Amino acid sequence: MKLIELEGPELWRELGLAYRRDRTLSVANKTFIAVVRQLSDYLKKTEASAHS
């Protein structure tokens, strides 16, 4: 996965996750969640740095 910077208006989309508590998540699902969380943390840090 690679982050590509775009010029123009800022684009964003809120993402939510829903799953059943009584079912086990697959390795692919767990990996996807981990990647999304890492990207979210990175973007928050980058955004905070830009506003400082």
Q: What angle is formed at CA 32 by the lines to CA 27 and CA 36, rounded to 5 degrees?
A: 150
To the question of pTM greater than 0.75 for the whole model, the response is no
pLDDT in tens, 3-49: 888 788 777 788 788 888 899 999 999 999 999 889 989 988 888 88
**All structural domains of the chain with their residue ranges:** 23-52
Please give the Cα distance from 35 to 14 (Å, whole number): 15
Residue among 33, 34, 52, 40 nearest 3 (CA): 40
